[in-house]
Structure 1
């Protein structure tokens, strides 16, 4: 039986008209594994400047439908691409040029956060749950802007926190998969296997999936095994459940 004092948080990253087919596949998978629309979507307003949400009324209607049926929505950057060339080690080794918020100054970071929030909230007709930077990477300017933007929640690789107080609400590594090379696939499969044994003691376990996962059968099998392993012992919940009251 799932324990009520343990929580499983599931999320689909890079939700965008650019990845509509992959998003549908992940929605079907997580719905089956979690017993409903018990997950979050991290929405990119204009992925790599190639898929503007503002110009796709049909996809905005789909976001509202998912939101109306319980899916949490997060702002996930603006374009999900770092054009600055100033992200340093993290930009080179932790992401394929997608650390959009690593090198932004505070004013520019706040502008993108605010514009993304307005666009997504207009689409879904309710407040977003929070903000997650692309690749979970934040520079000093982005962290400062979070304090101005008024989001209830933020997340990185190791924690979920309240931007207004910097209070940590959940701690522990996100279980996720990397699909862009064989070594990264192998290492992410190994970590997921380890996590299925090692992370059950955590009060909150987070699992994030990406569009690229849908093209790698071994990753899909690992997602199934990992979500099922944790869902047997804890209910899939909402990020907002972490907030007091």
Structure 2
């Protein structure tokens, strides 16, 4: 299915992945620097029980932080449940590559429908317990099984995403939303990521939206932190409007409806 035609002003979406009590110290200094730039909404991809060791129910202070971020206009998104691949061993070379080399945290890569439904339901329940509004789900590493896709089609969520698109649920209608992301686990990966993202950002100069996908490991390296803050500032100086993912998607839908009305 081709991407829907999107028009209107240009936007930038700042997205923090793997948000949980253990990763907040990595992000704190960067978030403070972003806040110093002005009113820039952030999309936080929140893990309810990171690696089965950090349940949000036991993190009162961290939850209060997220409550304050919501009050500022930020968005909280469900990002897996454990953010850990706890499935049976890989059964094929491709599965081994995806689950052991590409990532070890592809929680929803191999889940059947029933398990995905249960885990998504638990995540939704956690958000409801804390009175957090929820419209989106992002699978860890953007990896989703067919069973996960089936479960998402029957749940009260409005969108999901991968590295290049947002998808309106329940029908997985694609909306082009290219993103920049680093692999920062080693010096050579950071070097390649820096070059690749600069080249890709230049290619995306005319894109209606650019997503900045940050991870906790990025924040542990000065070169990556500088890249993300500098890139955000440059995109803002170019006139891009900072939005959350949900706000941007709602804006696109409104523009499409206006276009359709004008064509009638």
* Residue from 45, 50, 62 that aligns with 1:42: 45
Task: Say which SS state the counterpart of residue 241 (structure 2) adopts.
Answer: coil
* Residue from 146, 164, 168 that aligns with 1:162: 168
Task: Say which SS state the counterpart of residue 18 (structure 1) adopts.
Answer: coil
Distance in 2 (CA, whole Å) between partners of 1:66 and 1:122 is: 17
Give 5+ residue unaligned stretches, structure 2: 1-6, 255-264
* Residue from 175, 181, 200 that aligns with 2:205: 200
Q: What does residue 111 of structure 2 align with? A: 104
* Residue from 127, 140, 147 that aligns with 1:141: 147
* Residue from 94, 97, 107 that aligns with 2:102: 94
Task: Say which SS state the counterpart of residue 172 (structure 2) adopts.
Answer: coil
Distance in 2 (CA, whole Å) between partners of 1:58 and 1:19 is: 14
Task: Say which SS state the counterpart of residue 166 (structure 2) adopts.
Answer: strand
Check whether the contact 1:170–1:242 (CA below 8 A) recurs between aligned residues: no
Once the two structures are TM-superposed, the CA of residue 197 in structure 1 deviates from its matched residue by 1.2
Q: What does residue 242 of structure 1 align with? A: 249
Check whether the contact 1:154–1:162 (CA below 8 A) recurs between aligned residues: yes
Distance in 1 (CA, whole Å) between partners of 2:79 and 2:48 is: 8
* Residue from 22, 28, 32 that aligns with 1:24: 28
Check whether the contact 2:46–2:78 (CA below 8 A) recurs between aligned residues: yes
Task: Say which SS state the counterpart of residue 64 (structure 1) adopts.
Answer: helix
Change (3 A) 1:161 1:204: same
Change (3 A) 1:142 1:88: farther
Once the two structures are TM-superposed, the CA of residue 4 in structure 1 deviates from its matched residue by 5.9
* Residue from 11, 16, 33 that aligns with 1:12: 16
Alignment RMSD (CA, Å):
1.8
Distance in 2 (CA, whole Å) between partners of 1:214 and 1:227 is: 15
- 1:18-40: CA deviations, max 9, x gaps? 1121232232133235x224110
Structure 1, 162-171 or 97-106: larger mean CA deviation: 162-171
Distance in 1 (CA, whole Å) between partners of 2:30 and 2:156 is: 29
| TM-score, normalised by the number of residues in structure 1 | 0.91
Structure 1, 3-12 or 135-144: larger mean CA deviation: 3-12
| TM-score, normalised by the number of residues in structure 2 | 0.84
* Residue from 68, 72, 77 that aligns with 2:75: 72
Distance in 2 (CA, whole Å) between partners of 1:101 and 1:57 is: 27
Give 5+ residue unaligned stretches, structure 1: none
Distance in 2 (CA, whole Å) between partners of 1:69 and 1:189 is: 31
Q: What does residue 132 of structure 1 align with? A: 138
Q: What does residue 228 of structure 1 align with? A: 233
Q: What does residue 262 of structure 2 align with? A: none
- 1:125-165: CA deviations, max 9, x gaps? 24213000011111211111111122111111111011212
Distance in 1 (CA, whole Å) between partners of 2:36 and 2:220 is: 19
Check whether the contact 1:67–1:73 (CA below 8 A) recurs between aligned residues: yes
